[in-house]
Amino acid sequence: MNAAKRHEIFRRLREDTPEPKTELVYASSFELLIAVILSAQATDVGVNKATAKLFPLANTPATIYALGVAGLSEYIKTIGLYNGKAKNIIETCRLLLERHDGEVPQTREALQALPGVGRKTANVVLNTAFRQLSMAVDTHIFRVSNRTGLAPGKNVLEVEHQLMKWVPKEFLLDAHHWLILHGRYVCQARKPRCGSCRIEDLCEYPAKTSDD
């Protein structure tokens, strides 16, 4: 895919959604961190339902740590893998209090040193909470990048590096959100909605049919 196509893809995505945002509900960088940890193999809708009960009562490292694993589990038990996530979150809260004065660190290295925080989660927090240039490649972004020809790659790290290299600079800060939304609602996994896609004429997906 050439540079002109890439620019036009993001120009249209920006035109349709000038201020793209995560669909996770949060009011602080810490709340976002917890929500993203919970979102692994879970839907944003499911996470929001759980945090709507949790955050009004505990939304700081100290208050969540005070719940303990058992107490936190009661709030998040509707989310997949909640036992492991509860353990990771409690340990993360302890480390935030001990190492970072209760603040969420603003570097990838420090974030990834926290239990339950991988590269994707760290990139989400850096980009969404701290507005740093980073690209969190989830299943939607991986699919859209490969299917459209925007930034093909064999694994998420390769796609991340390709996107960081090829997305035009003026769009890079919000590209993560545009691609997630496009993958979630238009370029869906089983049946992409090509007929209602704003970038269909720019897409290099080889298997488009009139039934898509």
Residue 165 catalytic?
no
What is the DSSP code string of the chain? --HHHHHHHHHHHHHH-SS---SS--SSHHHHHHHHHHTTTS-HHHHHHHHHHHTTT--SHHHHHHHHHHHHHHHHTTSTTHHHHHHHHHHHHHHHHHHSTTPPPSSHHHHHTSTT--HHHHHHIIIIIT--S-----HHHHHHHHHHSSS--SSHHHHHHHHHHHS-HHHHHHHHHHHHHHHHHTS-SSS--GGG-TTGGG---TT--TT-
Q: Which of 5, 44, 49, 138 is catalytic?
A: 138
Residue 212 catalytic?
no
Q: Which of 120, 154, 201, 208 is catalytic?
A: 120
Q: Which residues are catalytic?
A: 120, 138
